Amino acid sequence: MSTTPTQHDRYAVIGNPVAHSKSPFVHARFAEQTGEPVEYGRLLAPVDQFVAHVRAFIDEGGRGLNVTVPFKLDAHAFATSLSPRAAAAGAVNTLRFEKDGGIYGDNTDGFGLVRDIEVNLRVPLTGARVLLLGAGGAARGVVLPILERKPHTLTIVNRTASKADALVAQFASAASDAACRLTGGSAHAIEPGAYDVIVNATASSLDASLPECDDGAFGADTLAYDMMYGAQPTVFMQHASKLGARAADGLGMLVEQAAESFFVWRGVRPDGAPVLAALREMLRAPQSA
């Protein structure tokens, strides 16, 4: 008895560089888990040819893309409609190509961060004192999802205080709706006492440096979360651990934002936990070091 081969829908991650991306591994596991007919690859595009490469992918039958550095702003401009969280972030990491030719842009980064913290790490953000280090694109993408969890306080700190001030102004209305105290500025804006959650959204871990932060912000009940990840704990995580805090990296955020992208595309939400465990083991393997 012959069977007709399943027609797989094409998805990919686009970036430059993109060879290092773990997204194909993650989405292959999601496809296996859910039974969705998904084929997922990598798409390397020259920095000035994002639109041309996306158009070609669509013409070849592509259904959606994850978008990584340096194209999140290009994807935001390319989309014909945006989710509220993508509009707030000013950047897009997920594109869905509609049958009518429309291009839907979403940003799942903040959702991934919140879900990793609350579900995987079991730290509630509701009513929490949260300190966000950094005011660049990574920080901007997570402010609204954090506020939606109704924390008690969100303090945004950046070396250039005016950038933190701009985020405070941008999200003042959302903070009011969430009954959250939203403050910011330079490191001097950090309030006395240990925070419940500290999120490092700066790129400091890339060059093994520490973001500006008062050591008094870390306590025994603090979750110190670095958006970066690697085979070894980041300098920020090591510093936080020495100060008695619980430290976590951003690998879970990577998996959970991917799970949300999968949901945006397929309407099915995969379970990130087993994929995160498999990815963690892969990172620990000698060849990944």
Residue 136 assigned to a binding site: yes
Catalytic sites, residue numbers: 72
What torsion, rounded to 10 degrees, do the Cα atoms 204, 86, 27, 135 define? 10
Look up residue 204 and give its two tokens: 């400091």
Q: 102 a known binding residue?
A: no
Q: How far apart are alpha carbons 208 and 262 in whole angstroms?
A: 32
The answer to whether the beta carbons of residues 113 and 138 sit under 8 Å apart is: no
- Residue 200: its H or E element: strand 197-200
259 near 272, Cβ under 8 Å? yes
Residue 246 backbone dihedrals phi, psi, to 5 degrees: -85, 130
Q: Per DSSP, what are the bridge partners of residue 223?
A: 197, 246
Cα(184)–Cα(156) distance, integer angstroms:
4
| Residue 163 known to bind ligand | yes
Per-residue pLDDT of the chain (289 residues; tens, 9 = 90+): 445 567 899 999 999 999 999 999 999 999 999 999 999 999 999 999 999 999 999 999 999 999 999 999 999 999 999 999 999 999 999 999 999 999 999 999 999 999 999 999 999 999 999 999 999 989 999 999 999 999 999 999 999 999 999 999 999 999 999 999 999 999 999 999 999 999 999 988 888 889 999 999 999 999 999 999 988 999 999 999 999 999 999 999 999 999 999 999 999 999 999 999 999 999 887 654 3
Which domains, from first to last, does the chain contain?
A: 9-107 (3.40.50.10860), 110-251 (3.40.50.720)
pTM, two decimal places: 0.92
